[in-house]
Structure 1
Amino acid sequence: MKRFCEKSGKTPYILKDVFREAAVSGLISDPRIWFKFIEIRNITVHTYNEKNLELVISIFDDFSDALNELINNLEKYSGSD
């Protein structure tokens, strides 16, 4: 996403800004879901327990859908170069 933004003339330095710019550019539909993915990732990096496992499992389908959307949009834009 960051490379795509940079190719579009934007240089976001903060990850949340990358997601916001990706939404403005049409790569993703909602940056807030990506904020949530990063939040959950940060929680799971340092703690390993059943609760965190359930948290990751609970967002798996949303993450899969969002990632597929991103991949499809990147493929569309890469074909227009």
Structure 2
Amino acid sequence: MELDLTSLSEAIRAMGETLARAEDDKLMGSLDEVTQNAIRAGVIQHFEFTYELSWKFIQRWLRLNASASDAEPLTRRELFRTAARYGLITDPQPWFGYSESRNLTSHTYDRAVAERVYAVAGRFLADSRFLLEQLELRNDSTRPDTTEAG
């Protein structure tokens, strides 16, 4: 069964576009502080949404393609470790941090926390793009090459 990756692709695209605007020094320098903060907040919101879609697509792909023992990870950490074994992500460690950052954004607003999450969003973009590429390469495969998953 093929996964419809449109929502993930669009989320990653939107996050990339918003991040590019936020990193455009000329543009940001021409804006007032309120507008600058709104753009950074948009990056954080895109990060939250894209992260949520990312782990859910990992979970869906594993349910469709992984061995029975790998198809239902019990924790998010286990999910990311399994995704790395199947080559969907390169390293689970950054994804543990993305999860922690996502949890921070949902519980409180603090400028320092927002700045930390904003910085994480930039690193996450590359990893989410890699995930999308791997999902696209493996989409509709009934049995992936699991020699690395061994």
TM-score, with structure 1 as normaliser: 0.91
Whose radius of gyration is greater, 1 or 2? 2
Task: List runs of 5+ in structure 1 lacking aligned partners.
Answer: none
Q: Which residue, 94, 100, 104 being the options, matches 1:39? A: 100
> Which one is further off, 46-55 or 2-11?
2-11
Larger RCO, structures 1/2 (Cα 8 Å, 6+ apart): 2
1:6 aligns with 2:63: yes
State the SS of the aligned residue for 2:88.
coil
What is the SS of the residue equivalent to 2:105? helix
The runs of at least 4 aligned residues of structure 1 exceeding 6 Å deviation read: none
Aligned 1:33-72 pairs, distance under 5 A: 33-72=94-133
Report % sequence identity.
33
Q: Give the whole-Å Cα distance in 2 for the aligned partners of 1:13 and 1:44.
A: 23
| Paired letter, 1:45 | S
TM-score, normalisation: structure 2: 0.51
**Aligned-partner Cα distance in 1 for 2:103–2:140:** 34
Q: Across the two proteins, how many residue pairs are aligned to each other?
A: 81
Output the amino acid matched with 1:58: A
Distance 1:16 1:5 in 2: 14
Match for 1:22: what amino acid?
A: A
Structure 2, unpaired ranges of 5+? 1-57, 143-150
